[in-house]
Structure 1
Amino acid sequence: MSSCELPKFVDPYKFADQEISISGTIALAVMPELVSVLVGNAGDAVVSVTLRFHKDDQGYRVISGAVTASLLVECQRCLGPVEIQVGSDFELALLRTDDQAAQIPRKYDPLIVEGDEVSLAEVVQEELLLAMPQFSYHEEACGVKMPQPEKFDDQAKQKDNPFSVLAGMKTKK
C-alpha cells in the first residue's frame, strides 16, 4: 500500500502469512484514549505509521512497526500547551490467548487478537500511549519562576521555630 490513510481493520494473520508491509496515516480523532490526554481536540492531526507483517525464524507471526506523531499536551511547568514529538518502534507477536504470551521470545510484546481482525488504530494508540513521556515541558523556559528556598538569618529561624516558646519556658525555671 502507498502512504495514505490506513484501513481501520486488517487480518494480521493473513497479512503475516503474505508478508505484507503498509505505510500511511491514521487520524488522531479515532484514538479516544490518546485524545483524552491531549490539550484540545485532535482536529486534523494524524499519526504516521509503518507496519511490516511477517513470520520470524521460529514461525511466530509478528508485526514490526514504527509510529510517529506530533502531539499537543499540557506543559507541567506553565500548564500551557506544548507540542511534543512521540515515536515508537515495536515488535508484536500475534497471539490468540494470554497463555501463549509466556512462551514468546522476550524481544516481542504480545498482541492478543480475538477473532480474525485487529484495529490498527487501537494498536497504534497503545504504542503511542506507552511512548509518551511521563512529564512534558517546553524546551525553553516558559516564564514560570520556580520557587527559591528562602534565606533566613538566625533571628528569623528562632522567631519561626515553634519550639522557641518551650526553650524560653525552660530557662525561666
Structure 2
Amino acid sequence: MEAILIDAFEFCRLGEALEGEFAVAELPRLAAEAFTPAGVIRWSLTGGKHAQGYPQLTLNVSGSVQLMCQRCLTPFEFGVESNSILVLAQDEAGADELEEALDDDSLEVIAGSLQFNVANLIEDEALLALPVSPRHDVCPGKTAEKPEAQVEKAASPFSVLKDWKR
C-alpha cells in the first residue's frame, strides 16, 4: 500500500481536498477480511473547521469487497459506503478530552499529526464498514420466507406440548 502522508492540521487549515482509489488487494488488512482481493475502494478527503473551530476532516469511502456469506458459505459482493466527520486533536489524551467536551455521536475525534497517513485512515474506515457476520439478504437458491410462516414455525413446538398434556 502506498502511503499518502499529509500534515493533517495544515490540510484542514487550508481546506484542501484529496481523492483517489485503492484496489482491495493494495489494502492488506482489508484484503485479509475479503474472500478474494477483487474490488476497488474509492475515497475523498476534505479538510476544514468544525463549528467550534477545531480542525476537521470529512472522509467518504465507497466501493465493493467480496465477502463470504456466513449462512450459505458462498461469496458475495458487499457494497462499502461510509461518510465520517473526524475532528482532530493534538494527541490521544487530547482526543479523549475533546470527544467528551463535544459530546456529539455524529463525529469522531482522532489524534492528528504532521505525518498523517491517509491510506491507513481509508483502510480503517473500510474495515469499520464491513459487517461482523456477513451474509446475503436472501441466499442463492433459497426464497425469502414470509413473516407468517416464521410465526407458524415458532408456534408449532408448543402445539405439540399442548396435545401431549392430554
TM-score (normalised: structure 2):
0.74
Aligned pair in 2 of structure 1 residues 71, 21: CA closer, same or farther (>3 Å)? Answer: same
The structure that is helix-richer by fraction is 2
Indicate yes or no: 2:79 matched with 1:79: no
Larger Rg: 1
RMSD: 2.8
Q: Does the 8 A contact of 2:89 with 2:98 survive in 1?
A: no
Q: What is the CA deviation profile of residues 28-56 of structure 1, one whole-angstrom value per residue up to 9, with x for unaligned ones?
A: 2232221111002x24x321112111122
Question: Given the alignment of the two structures, is residue 14 of structure 1 paired with residue 14 of structure 2, yes or no?
Answer: no
Q: What amino acid does structure 2 have at the position aligned with 1:103?
A: L
Q: Residue in 2 aligned with 1:143?
A: 141
Using CA pairs under 8 Å that are at least 6 residues apart, name the structure with larger relative contact order, 1 or 2: 2
Partners of 1:55 and 1:61 within 8 A in 2: yes
Q: Tell me how far apart the structure 2 counterparts of residues 144 and 77 of structure 1 sit (CA, whole Å).
A: 11
Structure 2, unaligned stretches of length 5 or more?
Answer: 144-152
TM-score (norm 1): 0.71
CA contact (8 A) 1:30 1:121 kept: no
Partners of 1:141 and 1:38 in 2: CA distance: 18
Instruction: Give unmatched runs, 5+ long, in structure 1.
Output: 1-5, 158-173
> Counterparts of 1:123 and 1:24 in 2: how far apart (Å)?
13
**Contact 2:40–2:65 (Cα < 8 Å) also in 1:** no
Moved over 6 A (4+): 148-151
Cα distance in 1 for residues equivalent to 2:72 and 2:120: 31
Q: Aligned pair in 2 of structure 1 residues 46, 9: CA closer, same or farther (>3 Å)? A: farther
Residues 4-26 of structure 1, C-alpha deviation per residue, up to 9 Å, x if partnerless? xx972222111111101222212
Contact 1:77 1:137 survives alignment (8 Å): yes
The answer to whether the 8 A contact 1:8-1:120 is kept is yes
Shift in CA distance, 87/51, structure 1 to aligned 2, threshold 3 Å: same
Identity rate, percent: 24
